[in-house]
Structure 1
């Protein structure tokens, strides 16, 4: 996506001359920010649900007005399909908006993209609900021919076994059910396996059994019928061993099980998520209610082992990083809404980049003092934390890490500045300091300013698309950093 033009593209072109126009925050960049974390601004706030609404999509509307609708839909697909979005709701909202645009090509592109963006039933329900909300002020219905065809194609275009899994995992959401959508879209099943699932959704399991028992069914219908039978059996089984075997054999998920059966295997979990869970478990008390517990040493040992193994789940970006930790204030405060101290959080963040990116420098800094930390990929969390807090504190100057890299001639793709100081101070403008680094090294350097305990940091003069602010820190922050590093927004 060119920053200075209006065409939407994922390919960014920069030069090393420090030309400011290369870093302007265009409507294209604002669109990508919205699709990533639900806001067109330069600040991502951890754990904050940015609910999509019309007042948040000024840049998207401007691009549609300029006739860029088809390319906007391509951008929506990219963020939705490649795991680049922190949450999928902004992409679904944007697609719903495009599907109601006055330009026919934009509407067609949006409806054609429905299956690619809304891959799960929950996403489809959200899309329909957003369309309903967008239509409320227009005093007209939403179920026109185009939507009916798109929803019918969504059901008929699915692999039958995948669709059976989907409709049993998520039966209804946002006030809509599969029965509603099949009825309102006038869906005619494309083949017998889809017809079987449609009957199961609308008539229930008993009627479906009666209709298909003793029939000469195709192999596909037999597989779907057997799968639905398993789902129904699990609902009524009190035999724990039987349930475990069915889960493993048929890859059942938690939504298909009873509350007492929620013992399915974990997916690929990020180390940051495991450490949050570990620290919260050690706390011995939830944040809501009065339930307390004594931490079990064997569980803590298992979580510790999982933490170190989970670094294999993190995909490298392949860029040069500097992770700089501000030690000018106490690092004993905690991330909002967690039991994790900012010192431990900073250590985990540093470890993620050191263990997965070949070119990462970790710095500890305060006013006038900066130290290159000896953090290596084979260090433990405790060792990494100790290494970060070796130098004495002072007041905060968040430009020191950039100045250090510039003087050393180290070309850095992304500076990640971590601090829990409520007030940022600088000897010079962080944007100007970053520009000097770009000019000297010829690198497309970017800056992420992260106030780990804050919800309100801001920096003057942030009309530079290479600079983003993170308030607090959560798993989504890693996606934001990754997208910025790869020039995806």
Structure 2
């Protein structure tokens, strides 16, 4: 029997479950389907890690239903929240949802969608993607996409930018998905709001020579002079074959690799100059390539500088680097070989040491959810498999996930279980990843029964908000239905408990065919999976 309850919307827009009122809190409503779609691009209860592919309207039935009911303004508010608060695994579902709202028959919905454009599309790449989605939705229809409302929204997107930030943006990402800034300025009939934006508009639509002719003899404002000087540097570096000059321009003006020519990137000295200001997230992705190309050599000043940045608390905080991100990067680097191509390298011990140090420091970036968690690790198999798409063993991945919750949540129990045996594990803040891994796998394996952690909590009177069950592969035998076990726990504890099963080596299998909104299956594991778990715990999906 389902627990009784009601669903209310708080002032912040979050969905809240009240177990004592009438109704059914676990129904998968259209609003819940919309939020799932915005979070990970599907309305189902399965999230597949690292699954790429374009989302379509076939996965957005809940969204379309809400639009049909005249609730478009609510849909736009949800889109804004998921994109602006970084709740989504990726931005593509939000862009498709916004495109759908922007051409809905109801005027209020269209107006709300265009008003939200700048907040959702925070960079040129996402703006181009939004325009392309509108084009695809209009294919087969006689009307075009460039009506007055879209022209104004795109014009406002450009006009409301800081001029220097816009100058950097248009030179780093000039075109994407068949669209360019030149296309958008022309088709939107943008009338620049000020002289600095007018300068950028002319640069994008007419080119640098036309800008020089127009502004060289004019008395320009300070802002225009700054933008003019910046664009001059970008043009200068594009036409320079002098390695020293290119390096000086990179260092003096903080230019990025997207603003350089392919030939420039053949130079080790240029890469070393770029590394100094490169975003930390980007540095972590190319450590293998930089080591392979001898740009980072053992004991060099560049390697020392990179190591200092990697383990700098200020740099980790600024880049919002998550522990799991560092674990994935570290294991990939340790592997000594890329997944694609023939790139190989000898891992540098000082870089590995810096990444290990950064892993533990980065836990400060994990914001507590404030719920009661049980993280249960199934040790019925050896846990020696590798999480698909990574170099991380399932044992190490399980240990890292357990650490994320044990270190950041005030109420968290970590359990290891197998064949009727269940052992509470002590995971403390001073334990290393290796120590936690050993703690999890020290009990002997047997057959799998994923209901054991739920039964343990129920029988021991521990109210749990979220059960996270980590297993190698979600094909198991169990003494009772996981759904029924969860319902019993809800009834006895009075908690709005949820159950997440994560098949670390799975590529697409759900725990059960259920319409219970509190159950979620994760196949594989990545940073997106942690975001999905967080959203489920906070009743956001």
TM-score bin, normalised by smaller chain = over 0.9
Q: Give distance in 2, aligned partners of 1:265 and 1:174.
A: 24
Residues 223-242 of structure 1 aligned to structure 2 (within 5 Å): 223-235=226-238, 236=240, 238-239=243-244, 242=248
Which residue of structure 2 lines up, in the alignment, with residue 285 of structure 1?
337
Displacement of 1:234 in angstroms is 4.6
Q: Which of 253, 272, 297 is matched with 2:349 structurally? A: 297
Indicate conservation of the 8 Å contact 1:4/1:24, yes or no: no
1:474 paired residue among 494, 519, 526:
526
The structural deviation recorded for 1:302 is 1.7
What CA deviation, in whole Å up to 9, does each residue of 1:431-478 have, x standing for no partner? Answer: 221122222222221111100100122232421111111000011111
Q: Matched residues in 2 for 1:361 and 1:6: separation? A: 30
Q: What is aligned with 2:111?
A: 108
Q: Secondary structure at the match of 1:448?
A: strand
Report whether the alignment pairs 1:426 with 2:478: yes
- Is residue 398 of structure 1 aligned with residue 404 of structure 2? no
Would the alpha carbon gap of residues 246 and 314 (structure 1) be closer, same or farther in structure 2, given more than 3 Å must change? Answer: farther
Q: Secondary structure at the match of 2:51?
A: coil
> 1:5 deviation in Å?
8.6
Between 1:185-194 and 1:306-315, the stretch displaced more is: 306-315
Partner deviation per Cα, 1:32-86 (whole Å, 9 max, x = no partner): 0000000010000000024221211111111110010111011111101000010
Report whether the alignment pairs 1:26 with 2:29: yes
Q: Conserved in 1, the CA contact under 8 Å of 2:79 and 2:94?
A: yes
Contact kept, 8 Å, 1:417 with 1:450, in 2: the verdict is yes
1-side partners of 2:342 and 2:116: how far apart? 47
Written as runs of structure 1 = structure 2, the 5 A alignment for 1:2-81 is: 10-17=13-20, 21-81=24-84
Q: Does 1:139 align with 2:142?
A: yes
Correspondences of 1:219-368 after superposition (within 5 Å): 219-235=222-238, 236=240, 238-239=243-244, 242-243=248-249, 245-246=251-252, 250=254, 252-258=255-261, 259=265, 260-261=270-271, 262-263=274-275, 264-266=278-280, 267-368=319-420
Distance 1:112 1:193 in 2: 23
CA contact (8 A) 2:155 2:185 kept: yes
- Do structure 1's residue 203 and structure 2's residue 206 form an aligned pair? yes
The CA deviation string for residues 228-286 of structure 1, in whole angstroms up to 9 with x for no partner, is: 23434454462376255335xx4x44433453544214033211121112111221222
Scaled by the length of structure 2, the TM-score of the pair is 0.85
| Preserved CA contact (<8 Å) 2:501 2:511 | no
Shift of 1:18: 9.4
TM-superposed deviation, 1:6? 11
* 3-state SS in 2 of match to 1:22: coil
Note the aligned Cα RMSD (angstroms).
Answer: 2.2
- Cα deviation 1:110-140 (Å, max 9, x = unaligned): 1111111111111110010000000002132
Q: Work out whether residues 82 and 88 of structure 2, in 8 Å CA contact, stay in contact via their aligned partners in 1.
A: yes
Partners of 2:83 and 2:377 in 1: CA distance: 32
The gaps in structure 2 that reach 5 residues or longer are 281-318
Give the C-alpha shift of residue 369 in structure 1: 0.6
Residue 460 of structure 1 aligns with which residue?
Answer: 512
SS of the aligned residue for 2:334 comes to helix
Deviations 1:400-430 (A, max 9, x none): 1111111222222211110013412222121
Counterpart in 1 of 2:302?
none
Structure 1 residue 292 displacement after superposition: 2.1
> Retained in 1: the 8 A contact 2:186–2:205?
no
Residues matched between the structures, number: 485
2:163 paired with 1:160: yes
The aligned residue for residue 428 of structure 2 is 376
Q: Find the aligned partners of 1:366 and 1:404 in 2 and give their Cα distance.
A: 13
The DSSP-based 3-state class of the residue aligned with 2:52 is coil
Secondary structure in structure 1 of the residue aligned to 2:344: coil
SS at match of 2:248: helix
Could you tell me which of 182, 185, 189 is aligned with 1:182? 185
Q: Distance in 2 between matches of 1:224 and 1:438?
A: 60
Kindly state the Cα deviation for residue 331 of structure 1 after the two structures are TM-superposed: 0.6
* 1:385 aligned residue: 437
Q: 1:389 to 1:35 in 2, by over 3 A?
A: same
Counterpart of 1:410 in structure 2 is 462
Q: 1 or 2 for the larger relative contact order (CA 8 Å, sep ≥6)?
A: 1
Q: Deviations over 1:362-392 (max 9, x none)?
A: 1111120111101111111111110110111
Q: Distance in 2 between matches of 1:481 and 1:440?
A: 23
**For the residues of structure 2 that align with 1:446 and 1:243, how far apart are their CA atoms?**
54
Residues 160-213 of structure 1: CA deviation (Å, up to 9, x unaligned) = 122112212211001000000000111111111110110111122333233223
Query: TM-score w.r.t. structure 1 length?
Result: 0.94
The separation in 1 between residues aligned to 2:155 and 2:323, in whole angstroms, is: 40
